Amino acid sequence: MNTTPALTQDAVASRTIFDPATGEPVGEAPVHTVADLQHAVDVALAAQPAWAASGHEARSAALLKAADAVEARAEELAQLLSREQGKPLNGPNARFEVGACAAWLRAAAGTPLEAETVVDDGETRAELRYRPIGVVGAIGPWNWPMMITIWQIAPALRMGNAVVVKPSEYTPLSVLALVETINEVLPEGLLTVISGGRDVGEALASHPAIGKVMFTGSTATGKAIIRSSADTVKRLTLELGGNDAGIVLPDADPKAIAEGLFWGAFINTGQTCAALKRLYVHADIYDAVCDELTNVAEAMPMGNGLDENNVLGPLQNRQQYDIVARLVEAAKASGARVLLGGNPDADQPGNFYPTTLVADIDNDNPLVVEEQFGPALPIIKFSTVDEAIAKANALDVGLGASVWSSDLSAAREVASRIEAGTVWINKHGAVDPRVPFGGAKQSGYGLEFGVEGLKALGVPQIING
């Protein structure tokens, strides 16, 4: 098996990773240093030219073998992911995430990217092609640690780059295991994980040999990466914070949309950048939507992710738990009506915050204007479509949004007026490896997935003549 290249230290320090559901140890994660990062970059620089020269067909074949390797270890990877991140095995959670890793590897391998003839008039012939960047730095989050890492590394490798991965300090074990699996089929040195602290992330973002940084995480950290990348004029793809709005039009069927609304908001226990985080419902059906959504939410079991019955888990870390608790308490103090939850059990082990629905809440309440990133959904009443659109567009983020209606034409018209990178109709957060995905406003820039995602991992070059 080809594993991550040996790093510079003879004995790498380690730290214990704990299960957010139980508080029990999951394993020991290495704590790499900036010196280790430099060694990984050196190895990547040496390995990348031959990989680039191998061509799209050979690189795609390797990605397909990597997908097979992930599938061969799927249950082992899902069990580790559940213990480290907290998400249940079942539902759209750990097994789903590992399956998505294989699917995105195959999609990156199978997406065609042909040279484009832009002018050919008999006198001038100009052709657009994409060359590898070189070494790509991939900085991932703790909410979907495996899947989002694949979103970063699969197109980077397909386009002929080497990749140095910096996982979240909260979830390094999952990414280390995933990369070890993929490295079973890759040439040595192309893909390395550096499991270090903030100093390592900062060094990666500013390293002169890193040609591009891909980052998924908070807007504040994204801004820091932009600043640190300026001196070396790095290419960037940034998928930053969101506070996605959903608009339910008066002709929607409350019962028919309730489960879709629930999973749009509570997938991964709400810990998803493009989850539904503000729900605007027309006054005519407001009470009915609140009732139906409460009925669905009450039936969804929350608990230890290794229990096959659960579909909701703990928050991954106590810092995020405290954010959710603070925002819900602010909503309660304002007089908003709690339909469900809002009453965590202080004696329960783990970072469990109950599924919480909050109605009759003002649009300027902190639970509405701040990204909660957890299992608490504010439901805001509106009277006119113009009012709902204005409220949806009022914030400085715009990753995703959704419109819910029985009239597709009306829904699409509303969708066209929402300031977000993706607007879904009668669903929320459904990403597809064939469909470009990226944010608007302070939710970042750059596109992932499909042909556009491949182009973003290359340097455009015009051959003129």
Sorted by where each begins, the domain ranges of the chain are 13-240+443-464, 244-425
- Please choose, from the candidates 431, 430, 300, the residue with its C-alpha nearest in 3D space to the C-alpha of residue 355: 300
3-state DSSP call for residue 273? coil
Q: What residues contact 122, with CB distance under 8 A and at least 6 apart?
A: none
Report how far apart, in Å, the C-alpha atoms of 221 and of each of 117, 142, 154, 202, 241 are. Answer: 39, 14, 23, 10, 10
pTM for this predicted structure? 0.95
Amino acid at 171: T
**Letter string b/e over residues 282-316, b meaning 16 or more CB atoms within 10 A of that residue's CB:** beebbeebbebbbebbeebebbbbbeeebbbbbbb
With tokens 């990989």, the residue in question is 51
356 in Cβ contact with 269 (< 8 Å): no
- 221 pLDDT more than 90: yes
Residue type, 93: N
Q: Is 45 exposed, middle or buried (0-12, 13-18, 19+ CB in 10 A)?
A: middle
Mean pLDDT of the chain: 96
- Residue 2: predicted pLDDT: 44
Instruction: Say what the pLDDT of residue 12 is.
Output: 82
Compute φ and ψ for 271, nearest 5 degrees.
Answer: -95, 65
5-58 pLDDT tens trace: 455 545 689 999 999 999 999 999 999 999 999 999 999 999 999 999 999 999
Over residues 292-348, the pLDDT tens digits come to 999 999 999 999 999 999 999 999 999 999 999 999 999 999 999 999 999 999 889
Contacts of residue 77, defined as CB under 8 A and 6 or more positions apart, other chains included, come to 70, 98, 101, 146, 174, 177, 178, 181
Catalytic (active-site) positions: 239, 273
Q: From CA 33, how far away is CA 353, in angstroms rounded?
A: 35
Q: Ramachandran region of residue 256, left (φ > 0), alpha (ψ -120 to 50) or beta?
A: alpha
Per-residue pLDDT at 247 exceeds 60? yes
For 363-419, write each residue's pLDDT tens digit: 999 999 999 999 999 999 999 999 999 999 999 999 999 999 999 999 999 999 999
- The letter for the amino acid at 249 is L
* Percentage of the chain lying above the pLDDT 90 cut: 96
Q: Which CATH class is domain 13-240+443-464?
A: alpha beta
The answer on pLDDT for 198 being more than 80 is yes
- Which band of pLDDT confidence, cut at 50, 70 and 90, is reported for residue 1? very low
244-425 carries CATH number 2.60.40.10: no
Task: Check whether 152 has a pLDDT greater than 90.
Answer: yes
Pair 240, 444: CB distance under 8 Å:
yes
Q: Which residue has the tokens 């594993």?
A: 3
Predicted confidence (pLDDT) at residue 215 exceeds the cutoff of 50:
yes
Instruction: List, for residues 178-194, the tens digit of each pLDDT value.
Output: 999 999 999 999 999 99
Q: How confident is the model at residue 3 (pLDDT cuts 50, 70, 90)?
A: very low
What pLDDT, on the 0 to 100 scale, is given for residue 346? 87
As given in the structure block, the two tokens for residue 245 are: 């709005």
Q: List, in sequence order, the alpha helices (H) in 230-317.
A: 254-266, 286-298
- Percent of the chain whose predicted confidence (pLDDT) is above 70: 98
| Predicted pLDDT of residue 136 | 98
- C-alpha distances in Å from residue 111, one per residue of 114, 130, 337: 10, 14, 48
